[in-house]
Amino acid sequence: MTDYFHLNIERDKLLSLSSLGLAHLGDSVYEVMVRSWLCLHGAAKVKDLHRATVSYVAAPAQAKRTERILPILTQEEQDVFRRGRNTAPHSVPKAASRGEYQTATGLEALFGWLYLQGRTNRLNELFALMMEEPTE
């Protein structure tokens, strides 16, 4: 039986996956992390949780927070991010620019790629940096 919570996909198989497939999975990984973060930070009412989740997972918010982690990505992570970002989108949501949407897709591809390798410590490290309050 496959343990879908503790994956460690072979490198060759991982490299053969499409960027959009990685982004599809990474989108849900990122959303689960945001939902967990919100619950742990005291948001309790369902309507408040949903509204807050949407504000964090929308492409413009993802793109803005992605800027915080780009300087610390490894070369391999940068390559996965770039591959996801450069995938031509079929459509772009009205609330996001094309650049924001492509950056969010790159982030999601990276999160999907890390998840499939079982690299949860790295996911947590990147996510924590993204969620930190900026220091002025």
Cβ contact 93:59 at 8 Å: yes
Choosing from 12, 27, 48, 79, which is the catalytic residue?
Answer: 27
* Amino acid identity, position 5: F
> Reduced to 3 states, what is the DSSP secondary structure of residue 22?
helix
DSSP conformation class of 72? G
Is 12 an annotated catalytic residue?
no
Supply the residues annotated as catalytic.
27
